[in-house]
Every structure is written in structure tokens, then in C-alpha cells.
């Protein structure tokens, strides 16, 4: 990958942020379209990114590739600004792509980076916005698994239903009369989640006190074919 292009010339090699940002965009494209060719592109890009910018001994990403011009110090800017740092983008991509492509070693590298930067991010959180968003994703749980048709047409988990209900309908007459399923209340701390089901403080059908606040639901078969949901009352919302 090249950093810039003009008049048929692309003199500069790409940096970590270039590689990670393109992988991030392709991953978002896959998430929006479910077209597997974007995921194939992401797989190749992530492998190249790890080979060029990840240093196994330092357990860290560097901004320049291993085969780029040798500098006095190999740069490693980890702070997020108007543009996120290459490290934050790479961590975010590794977490999402690692889950989608079943690559636990990618998730492990992202976790190592998060653990290393956590003390600094705790002191200056405003300088690590994108990294903290990736951490929030990492601390969350998968609550429903289904193919793209079932997730839209037969969602089982109340949280999935609420998320889908928040998408506006592109028809003003339908949208005017529609009543979206609203989730009320504050998002609980992912570091200190509530007992039982993490969603029980905001779930519109929670049985509290009762099983929802006492027993954490596991992913189990519900709905169609290979569909799974982590909810004691899946399908009831």
C-alpha cells in the first residue's frame, strides 16, 4: 500500500494508519453489505499489516513497516486525535475481524495492546477515544448469532430487536406512525457489569427480581436453523 498518489507517482510507502484505515473501511463495508469478498480483502490486509507493523518482541505496533527506511527511532504514536492513531485502528480491526474470521491470535494481539496502553489511557482518556471504543467492543458480549435474513426478520434477543427498530424506515408515512422499541436507562459499566443478564437493568421484558438478575444467559438455539440467542425469554419481546 502507498501513502499518496499524484501524476502516476506513488513515492511513499503506506504507514500503519493507512493499512489499518483501509481494513477498517472494508470491514465496515462487509458489515453493511455482508458481501464476503470484502471480508476476504480484510483477511489479506490484516495479514500484511501484522507482518509489516507488528513487533512480536515489543508486543506492539509501529507506525512504519519493517522494510521501510530505517530511522533513529521507529515511530509509534498511540494517541487518537481528529484522526485515530494507527494502533487504535489496528486494535479495532483485529478485534472485529478476529471474531468474524475466527482468528483468536488477532484478538490476543489486540488484547495485549489494550493491556499495555490501559494505564496511560486511564490517566488521559481524552487522548484515546478510538482505543477506548475498541475496548468497549472487546468487553461486550455476543447476544445473538444468526444469518443475515434471520437476524432482520426473526431476531430473538430484545437488544437486537431494539437495535433494528432504531433504523429509520425510508417511507415518511410509515416512519410517522411507527413506534420504535426504545431502550431506556444508562448503559452499565462494562468493567463492573450487573449480575445475571448484563442487559437486565434496561431490558423491557426483564423478570427482576428473578432469573434475569440472577442467572447470566448463555447463547442457546432459538428461532430458525442455526440461530442462537443469549436470553432466558428469547423471542418474547
Provide the binding-site residues for ligand SF4, judged by CB under 6 A: 158, 197, 199-200, 203, 205-206, 212, 217, 231-233
Rank residues 83 and 215 by Cβ distance to ligand SF4 and give the closer one: 215
Rank residues 128 and 199 by Cβ distance to ligand SF4 and give the closer one: 199
CB of 147 to ligand SF4, least distance (A): 21
- Specify which residues 54 forms β-bridges with: 61
CB of 145 to ligand SF4, least distance (A): 15
CB of 46 to ligand SF4, least distance (A): 32
* DSSP three-state, residue 35: coil
E strand residue ranges, the chain: 54-55, 60-61, 144-145, 220-221, 228-229
CB atoms within 10 A of CB 38: 18
Rank residues 51 and 142 by Cβ distance to ligand SF4 and give the closer one: 142
Rank residues 38 and 233 by Cβ distance to ligand SF4 and give the closer one: 233
Q: Which residues contact 70 (CB under 8 A, 6 or more apart)?
A: none
Phi-psi label, residue 234: left if phi above 0, alpha if psi -120 to 50, beta otherwise? beta
CB of 196 to ligand SF4, least distance (A): 7
Amino acid at each position: 500500500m502507498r501513502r499518496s498518489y499524484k501524476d502516476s507517482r506513488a513515492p511513499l510507502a503506506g504507514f500503519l494508519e493507512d493499512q489499518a484505515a483501509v481494513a477498517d473501511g472494508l470491514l465496515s463495508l462487509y458489515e453493511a453489505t455482508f458481501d464476503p469478498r470484502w471480508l476476504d480483502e480484510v483477511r489479506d490486509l490484516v495479514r500484511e499489516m501484522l507482518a509489516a507493523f507488528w513487533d512480536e518482541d515489543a508486543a506492539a505496533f509501529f507506525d512504519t513497516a519493517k522494510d521501510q527506511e530505517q530511522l533513529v527511532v521507529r515511530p509509534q504514536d498511540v494517541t487518537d486525535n481528529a484522526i485515530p492513531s494507527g494502533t487504535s485502528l489496528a486494535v479495532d480491526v483485529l478485534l472485529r475481524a478476529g471474531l468474524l474470521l475466527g482468528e483468536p491470535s488477532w484478538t490476543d494481539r489486540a488484547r495485549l495492546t489494550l493491556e499495555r496502553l490501559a494505564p496511560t489511557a486511564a490517566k488521559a482518556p481524552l487522548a484515546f477515544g478510538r482505543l477506548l471504543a475498541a475496548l468497549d467492543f472487546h468487553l461486550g458480549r455476543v447476544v445473538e448469532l444468526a444469518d443475515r435474513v434471520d437476524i432482520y426478520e426473526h431476531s430473538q434477543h430484545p437488544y437486537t430487536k431494539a437495535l433494528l427498530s432504531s433504523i429509520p424506515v425510508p417511507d415518511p408515512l410509515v416512519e410517522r406512525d411507527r413506534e420504535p422499541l426504545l431502550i431506556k436507562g444508562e448503559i452499565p459499566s462494562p468493567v463492573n457489569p450487573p449480575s445475571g443478564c448484563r442487559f437486565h437493568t434496561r431490558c423491557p421484558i426483564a423478570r427482576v427480581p428473578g432469573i434475569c438478575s440472577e442467572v447470566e444467559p448463555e447463547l442457546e438455539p432459538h428461532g430458525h436453523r442455526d440461530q442462537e440467542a443469549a436470553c432466558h425469554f428469547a423471542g418474547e419481546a
